[in-house]
Amino acid sequence: MQVLFAPLQGYTTGIYRKAHAEIFGGVDAYYAPFLRVENGRPREKDLRDIDDDHNLIAGAKTVPQIIANSVDEFKVLADAIVQKGFTEIDFNMGCPFPMQVSRHRGAGLLSDTQTVKAIMDEIARLTANGSVKFSVKMRLGQGSPDEAFALLPILNDAPLAHITLHPRLGKQQYKGAIDFTAFVRFYEECRHPLVYNGDITSVGQIRKMESGYPKLAGIMIGRGLLARPSLAAEYKAAADASTISERDLLGKILTMHGRLYEHARSTYQGDSQILSHIKSFWEYLEPSIPKKAFKKIKKAGNLGEYDAAVQSLDME
């Protein structure tokens, strides 16, 4: 099965994706956090973030993602990405952030079959000459799974490369139970290759999904990969290969951190700005590093304290 790195705004930045591809690998495609319209134009900061991704190491591609509340927004964003030379684009119909949902974007679009149909028609137009492919990343609904099932005939008829389903509702955000009953129904009724996304944190869980749902085209992992960046490579390793040792995992985490830290220090100014950017690297890593060092890193108030905290990790 393909392993896809989920987009996480503020975490899986361009520099993170590149460093991860080079140091850990195992990921077939990195999905970039969504690009959106700001003042009628694609947001510059989001565009810059995907600029370097043509240089990702061989075998790992980046798929930019867009979020839109209308065909007009969709066109502006898709055009900007195509102009950059990307041949695959993901469309977000799952973001639960209230700022997006209230503007009728992400999960806020799932109940609007008319707009989704218009966007699917635009996808059909853009894909007609075969130069670009589209996929959709979605939830079951904002308020009810009925929303996804009302949309499914429209999605089934659209020329999509695949659908990624996170079987939660927008109103649940990222917590609460995953609706496996609805997932299984969607799995059975979806005519496109289906990718599962949600709460995957171990190789065992990936294998369980693989054997339980043989038609699955892939698994998309977000927080599980942030917490254990070796997860995709461990799954891809031959079945008899031993998993990475904790020492090697820590060593690679530190190498990756070195790259991101260097980038943060050359990009941002002043301790607090640099710290606020680099600390997000550690946020989900708690399960993979010693507790004491994790706490020290979190508490560090200036670069001196921070450096000492990271060094204490190296000495463990």
Ligand X SMILES: Cc1cc2nc3c(=O)[nH]c(=O)nc-3n(C[C@H](O)[C@H](O)[C@H](O)COP(=O)(O)O)c2cc1C
* Binding stretches for ligand X (CB under 6 A): 6-10, 33-34, 65, 92, 94-95, 137, 166, 174, 197-200, 221-224
d(CA 47, CA 59): 22
Task: Tell me whether strands 41-42 and 37-38 are parallel, antiparallel or unpaired.
Answer: antiparallel
CB of 295 to ligand X, least distance (A): 21
CA quadruple 224, 19, 207, 197: dihedral sign: positive
Which residue lies nearer to ligand X by CB, 65 or 230? 65
Complex with ligand X: residue 111 or 164, whichever CB lies closer: 164
- In angstroms, rounded to a whole number, what is the distance separating the alpha carbons of residues 271 and 169? 39
Residue with smallest beta-carbon separation from ligand X? 222
Q: In terms of CB distance, is 230 or 296 closer to ligand X?
A: 230
In the complex, least distance from residue 226 CB atom to ligand X, rounded to whole angstroms: 8
Comparison of 119 and 313: residue with beta carbon closer to ligand X: 119
Q: Is residue 71 within 8 Å of residue 44, measured between CB atoms?
A: no
Nearer to ligand X, 145 or 222 (CB): 222
Provide, rounded to whole angstroms, the least separation between the CB of residue 222 and ligand X. 3
Closer to ligand X by CB, 15 or 254: give it. 15
Q: How far is the CB of 9 from ligand X (least distance, A)?
A: 4
Q: Supply the minimum distance, in Å, between the C-beta of residue 308 and ligand X.
A: 28
Q: Are 229 and 243 in contact (CB under 8 A)?
A: no
d(CA 308, CA 124): 54
By beta-carbon proximity to ligand X, the closer residue of 141 and 293 is 141
Q: How far is the CB of 286 from ligand X (least distance, A)?
A: 15
Residue placing its CB nearer to ligand X in the complex, 9 or 181: 9
- The three-point CA angle 253-258-263 to 5° equals 130
| Least gap, CB of 123 to ligand X (angstroms) | 17
Give strand pairing partners of 38.
41
Cβ burial 282-307 (10 Å sphere, 16+ → b, else e): bebbeebbeeebbebbeebeebeebe
Cβ at position 46, least distance to ligand X in Å: 9
Phi, psi of 160, deg, nearest 5? -95, 145
